[in-house]
Chains A and B, each alone.
Chain A
Amino acid sequence: MAYGASATAHDAHEHIPTGWRRWLYSTNHKDIGTMYMVLAMIGGVVGGAMSWFIRLELAVPGIQYIDDFQFYNVLVTAHGLIMVFFVVMPALIGGFGNWIVPLMIGAPDMAFPRMNNISFWLLAAALILLVTAALIGGGPGTGWTVYPPLSNAEYHPGPAVDFAILSLHLAGASSLLGAINFITTILNMRAPGMTLHRMPLFVWSILVTAFLLLLAMPVLAGALTMLLTDRNFGTSFFDAAGGGDPILWQHLFWFFGHPEVYIMILPGFGVISQVVSTFSRKPVFGYLGMAYAMVSIGVIGFIVWAHHMYTVGLDVDTRAYFVAATLVIAVPTGIKIFSWIATMWGGSIRFDTPMLWAMGFIALFVVGGVTGLVLANAGVNTAVHDTYYVVAHFHYVLSLGAVFSIFTAFYYWIGKMTGRQYPETLGRIHFWLTFVSVNLLFFPMHFLGLQGMPRRIPDYADAYAGWNLVSSFGALLTALATVLFFYIVYRTFTAGEKVAANPWGEGATTLEWTVESPAPFHTHEEIPAMGRRQPAE
């Protein structure tokens, strides 16, 4: 790579900006990554608080705390949007992606450091807009899917939905700029000798994710613009009275929305691959298969969107196609699951905290994947459409999948980021507490859904009382686990042991473990040569 010669031109400017300038003006991938993670933590607390409030209301039948049902809808909407756009994406892509990708490919920074800065601050502005939306004009009670006609001016006359649309526009622009930055960095700035087929799987996962963002986000932006003009400027893209069709919104939204769920989980796949390999002290099983499984999940992800719309009146042949295409996704996903297990097989496994989280991820993601296969069938889906079964499914793949992978990455890389190791015992307690509590929280939702309890309703029939109470106890325990997590962050910063460049030993072969801990402000200014470290995994 020609980039090698350039690094010395940057010379040894060990000048590190200080104070607010360091953060507001930051062009450093590590600082920007850190800011993304702080944003994700703030988003996680806000979004989490909303979900705990929802579970508080749902703990027993009847109306306890939320007698304004629009407010309940706003809680559900804001919880969903915040968790998607302001927790999972900034943590995995903006946070760990920014921090780790340049380190892993031997690049001194991202390709466009200033664009990186604007990506972050656009997202921060988007979060402020979204919270503003929830506080004005009755709030957006549309669900994260913002379906018209509910989101039309007729049913949401205030400015709340407009604010939410603008927030999503900004978040989309942020992701789009970030995606372009990642693709350019990964394609152009790899260390000499690191071919695409020798890149660590985490880098592969970010590359595929960035392409999904690049293709999906503009479609959301287009659809949101149509909705905005429908609401404010008299167009009727989605208004039947003017010749439009609300179903068109669903097609456009889910053409974005389905790739979006892979955008949230693919970086997690990358993290799990690194961690399973490190703690099994073996290269990952079937490296190329793993990489191309992610590519094919990304490709197939674009042609299955209507499986979210089985009940809109698609004809039977169309539904048959979307059922078949959706089921096909199980094949590359199965390749990944079995390859992780095969990596562990015969390995010299260390059950440190990151490995516990990774194994927890695999177990729980399989549960979510299996219920996904159930839901993929149009016939079954018609029965459980919009019930808690769906809620259970997507929380198993996201709340227990993507979020577990965030914690995996946190415990795996925190030593590299801060130079201090997390407290091992507390980390394990955090894992087991979370593992038990989230299962207590979400598993009963399968039963509730199969019994027919509908989503997005603040009250329910008495028959559903038992499992709802169990679920709410799970939510309470999850809140305790979250407090414990923040205590662990505090302990890591104040009392964590100093760590060497590579605290994980021989299993950790990727380039980020060759720089000292904490990773200095400028890294890889001399481009590392890959030599025969082969494969990268």
Chain B
Amino acid sequence: MANARRRNGLIAGALFVVAGGMVGMAFAAVPLYQLFCQVTGYGGTPRIGVSEKPVAAGDRTITVRFDANVNSTLPWKFRPAQKEMTVRLGETVLAHFVARNVSAEPIVGTATFNVTPFKAGPYFSKVECFCFTEQSLDPGQEVAMPVSFYVDPEIHADPGTREIRTITLSYTFFRAVGDPGGTGKGAAGTDQNLLSTDKGSTRLAIAVGSIGNRIGKR
């Protein structure tokens, strides 16, 4: 009896450990998922800040279009300064977006980004971008937000992406989670960073990209 009990206990104990491990895996999926997107360019996630690598500028060109969106809870106007650019592969170029706060209060916003077609993600590298940090705009303030990027010439060596002639770079500005009067989540005034594990890991990934300067705030 005691023997059988012990064996039952051992098996049940092992199974509880497995179940606990699966909960851990679910939470591990959060940083892993983001890391996975950063590394593979999955879902059109561009590569970030790998400017050290010298890339030979070739003769071939590609068209980059710009797309700007604002979440409905953020009273900003946001548009690209140029609709599209024709860039040489491997050449680092600078583009601008223009954002204006149309409300009567200072607001902090943050932008998410990706490129389409998604498969172009691994070949689209951002050297610097306003989207790497949160942006703060005073009432009525308008700023030009720069992004510098290049398209890896390898894009036309890869048979899967060889046919791409146009890449669309898209941004969506949201009210930053910590901003008072934001999406209504959390109690205003609590330290969001303590709780915001997810955002923390995003920041970590950005720190790896070694870019941290606030560009938009003059």
Contacts and interface: CB of A to CB of B under 8 A. Distances in A.
A153 interface: yes
A293 interface: no
A243 interface: yes
B77 to A, nearest CB: 18
B81 interface: no
B29 A252 contact: yes
Contacts of A157: 184
A382 interface: no
**Do most interface residues of chain A lie in helix, strand or loop, or is the interface mixed?**
helix
B20 to A, nearest CB: 7
Contact of B185 (A214, A231, A247): A231
Given A218-B26, A241-B71, A180 B33 contact: no
Contact of B30 (A5, A214, A237, A247): A237
B8 A184 contact: yes
Interface in A202-255: 214-219, 221-223, 226, 229-231, 233-237, 239-245, 247-248, 251-252
Interface string A247-272: 11001100000000000000000000
Most chain B CB within 10 A, of A6, A218, A248, is at A218
Interface stretch (B59-67, B91-99, B135-143, B186-194): B186-194
Interface stretch (B50-58, B150-158, B174-182, B208-216): B174-182
B199 interface: yes
B29 A248 contact: yes
A111 B8 contact: yes
B166 interface: no
Contacts of B4: 1-3, 6, 188-189
A188 B6 CA distance: 11
A313 B185 contact: no
A186 to B, nearest CB: 10
Interface string A310-344: 00010100000000000000000000000000000
Contacts of A11: none
B207 interface: no
Contacts of A231: 185
B195 interface: yes
Nearest to A223: B26
Contacts of B202: 243
A235 B196 contact: yes
Given A235-B197, A241-B175, A241-B182, A313 B43 contact: yes
Contacts of B1: 5-6, 9
Contacts of A229: 195
A245 B187 CA distance: 22
B198 A244 contact: yes
B19 A176 contact: yes
Interface in A166-222: 176, 179-181, 183-184, 187-189, 214-219, 221-222
A356 B195 CA distance: 57
B198 A236 contact: yes
Interface size class of B (residues with CB under 8 A): 35 or more
A14 interface: no
Nearest to B16: A180
Contacts of B164: none
Interface string A464-485: 0000000000000000000000
A447 interface: no
Contacts of A226: 26-27, 30
Contacts of A215: 18, 22
B11 interface: yes
A251 B8 contact: no
B25 interface: yes
Nearest to B74: A241
A180 B73 CA distance: 46
Of A5, A241, A313, most buried by chain B (CB within 10 Å of CB) is A241
A236 B30 contact: no
A52 interface: no
Interface in A1-24: 1-3, 5-6, 9
Given A218-B20, A219-B25, A229-B195, A153 B177 contact: no
Contacts of A245: 33-34
Contacts of A241: 71, 110, 112, 174-177, 182-183
Contacts of A432: none
Give the interface centre of A6, A176, A221, A233 by most chain B CB atoms within 10 Å.
A233
A276 B1 CA distance: 37
A235 B119 contact: no
Given A184-B15, A243-B199, A245-B33, A153 B184 contact: yes
B198 A242 contact: yes
Contact of A237 (B18, B43, B192, B198): B198
Contacts of A180: 12, 15-16, 19
B190 A234 contact: yes
B39 interface: no
B83 interface: no
B95 to A, nearest CB: 22
A222 B26 contact: yes
Contacts of A230: 185
Nearest to B172: A240
B160 to A, nearest CB: 8
Contacts of A121: none
B217 interface: no
A239 B175 CA distance: 11
A216 B183 CA distance: 32
Interface string A506-518: 0000000000000
Nearest to B43: A313
22 contacts: A1-B4, A6-B1, A6-B4, A152-B183, A153-B183, A154-B185, A179-B15, A214-B22, A215-B22, A218-B23, A219-B23, A219-B25, A234-B186, A235-B198, A236-B198, A242-B177, A243-B198, A243-B199, A243-B203, A245-B33, A247-B43, A251-B33
The 10 A-B pairs of least Cβ separation, nearest first, read: A234-B186, A222-B26, A241-B174, A243-B202, A218-B22, A242-B177, A6-B1, A218-B23, A180-B15, A219-B26
Interface of B: 1, 3-4, 7-8, 11-12, 15-16, 18-27, 29-30, 33-34, 42-44, 71, 73, 110, 112, 118-119, 172, 174-177, 182-187, 190, 192, 195-199, 201-203
Interface of A: 1-3, 5-6, 9, 111-112, 152-154, 157, 176, 179-181, 183-184, 187-189, 214-219, 221-223, 226, 229-231, 233-237, 239-245, 247-248, 251-252, 313, 315
Given A230-B185, A236-B199, 19 more contacts: A1-B4, A111-B8, A152-B185, A154-B73, A188-B8, A189-B4, A189-B8, A214-B18, A218-B19, A218-B25, A234-B187, A239-B177, A240-B174, A241-B174, A242-B196, A242-B199, A244-B198, A248-B30, A313-B44
